Structure 1
Amino acid sequence: MNTGKVLAGGRYHLDRHLGRGGMADVWLAFDTKMDRPVALKLLALDRLRQGHRRDALTEHINARYEKEWQSMARIRSPYVAAIHDRGEEGEQAYLVMEWIDGKSLDHYLGKGSTLTLSQTVRWAGQTCEGLADAYQAEVVHRDIKPANIMINERGDVRIVDFGLARLLDATETHGAGATWQYVAPERCDGEPGTHLSDLYSLGCVMYEMLTGSPPFTSRHDDSMAVVAMHLRQTPTPLRRVRRGVPEKLNDLVMSLLAKRPEQRPQHADIVAKLIRQAVEHAPASGTSSARLVVASENPHVNMDFVERIRAQEQQLRELLAMHSGDHVEVIEARFSLAELTGESGDPRGAADLYERLGTDCTVFYGPYSSRALDAFDAMARWIASPA
């Protein structure tokens, strides 16, 4: 439903309010000139000006805003949401961004859910490649977190909100634009942060991908307690939190979470390669049987399965767009996805998918339905597989 509100002389028609953050309202809008949907961020610069001398800060914010949007627009990457336009009307500044038809990583990590190794490799690796492309343009994100990592309809990453945390930092204390569960220690200490700070934040995100929660959390959402943990505590190794994490992947994530920036991997493109190498498994020469691949004593991902898993995930998304969750085609697609995940070398991921499927089938069809029993049987089979 069109709201009737327009910007830029009628070029952008605001359609639907998508959400509100500390410094922006996000709308789904339509670009009549380019004939496409866009994401339009209305920046609440008036909120940032509060408590300061208005004239001086207005000039400072306007200069910062112009610099940051130009920096964001320089990024050329298949894994970063493109900036199409910017403008101001009266007191209202706005950014026009690529519309991502998908869901944020938050959606996949809700209620302590973990990701499969294939999803972790694909999405963390693509995030690294997006960060590497941004650093080529001399842009640092400063607020890498699941909510800023979108997964599009093809199952690929698009990083959003480059530069907005820095714009907020320009008007508040250092670190104000960060999200505490994912903020690097140096930013907690008041430093503006570098690309190595983004890699620490990515390490926090990967930790959550694999265990269901960030490395440091507070039961009562006490931000100062979380900050103290980032500064002083060593996170529990992933392999002690979740069975089925490859040793090399555990070591890589822990290295990303090093307290001192110089102790972390130094380049995002190198991290992308290390992520793949940490889980990659090549079958012995002449071996093509999925059963022999699974029989490895170490969890891994056979990269021959990655595209098949991606295609199965896309088919599942398309089916869910047409049918309810209890439709027979949706259920069969979920069975196929879980089995492919196990065959790729990730028995823990397969067991998790089958457990969720069995729980859902119990709700849909009853606790003694054949589909629920089949799912739980398959879960037990993959739990018993070597990991």
Structure 2
Amino acid sequence: MFDVEKIRKDFPILNRKVNGKPLVYFDNAATSQKPQVMMDSIVDYYSNFNANIHRGVHTLSQEATNAYEEARIKIQNHFNAAKSHEIILTSGTTHSINMVASGFSSLLKHEDEVIVSALEHHSNIVPWQMLCERTGAVLKVIPMTLKGELDIDAYGDLLSEKTKLVFVNHVSNALGTVNPIKKIIDMAHDYAAAVLIDGAQATPHIKPDVQELDCEFYTCSAHKLCGPTGVGMIYGKESWLNKLPPYQGGGEMISEVTFEKTTYAELPHKFEAGTPNIAGVIAFGVALDYMNSIGFNQIAAYENELLHYATNKLLEIDKMVLYGTSKEKTAVISFNIEGIHPYDIGSIIDKLGIAVRTGHHCAQPIMDYYKIPGTVRASFSFYNTKEEIDIFIEALIRAKTMLS
């Protein structure tokens, strides 16, 4: 049985008050809260075996290296990568995306084409614009529909022999839409194009199998998966990682250095210059262990309950407008109340202890499509409850009354 009250005891922050009210945390799409076991692993590293990795013969260094590489294997197993060196450890999704964009600078030619989608986060748009400016490649965009879904027929029309890279998120951070990424990948492969999937918003709810998906790259951030900030990963097929040049130069990523020439290390070290966030990577592995102990099928089923419960409650409020009504969604609801600015709603309900996100959610093209300045976004996690949703609804009604 899924015991949410037992789970909530693992998250110390859920006991605190905000503005004198019990915290109701509905900003999980921005970052998840953290279980005590993950935080304990960080303290354990710095207290008991803090040392740099891959470089020392002494005991502490070997212990730190073993723990770090064990975490890499946990990440490999979680995403079902074929080889551990196909997992590159980064500072997060944005770092990962920029690593691939930088690498493609040497692979693209003038008038080659890169495809992104209208549902992307800014970090999934700007690096590709910069790449196209450097190379002369052309950026094309898969359009969206009013329901917040991608127009797959239009995507098919965009694909051509000039298409070299397709980039799309697995789940929209602004709307919660689950994109049909397997179909998108297969269609791109018909034209021999590589595909990079941004899994930042998907991985807290869905356990992807990168071999089954057959994507060239898949990336996510630990902090949305009950892990620490400043840590992420990118999976890349070995053949593609070998094609890309190193993203940064420095220690760890070299084989031999002379003033005449430097040769680079084998995977994964080729892309991991400098001293990494050792404690954070170890904690990432612990966070994955924690979430897998609960079970991603159980997490998805429970969060789906919360999504439907909250959606039905919100629709009872007069002048409520929901954005992103795709049939396939994760537990994210973006909405406005007609005539009221989303920032004003967010500010008032914060006084009642409720944390939501307001604004364009780093997805301004989506807001431009709907011709709105932004939305209120409530995003749920497996440690949230229906009782919290009831408190949220009461707070919204109070805010609406005050602002109307």
> Larger relative contact order (C-alpha < 8 A, sep ≥ 6)?
2
Q: Which has the higher helix share?
A: 1
**Under a length normalisation based on structure 1, what TM-score does the superposition of the two structures give?**
0.28
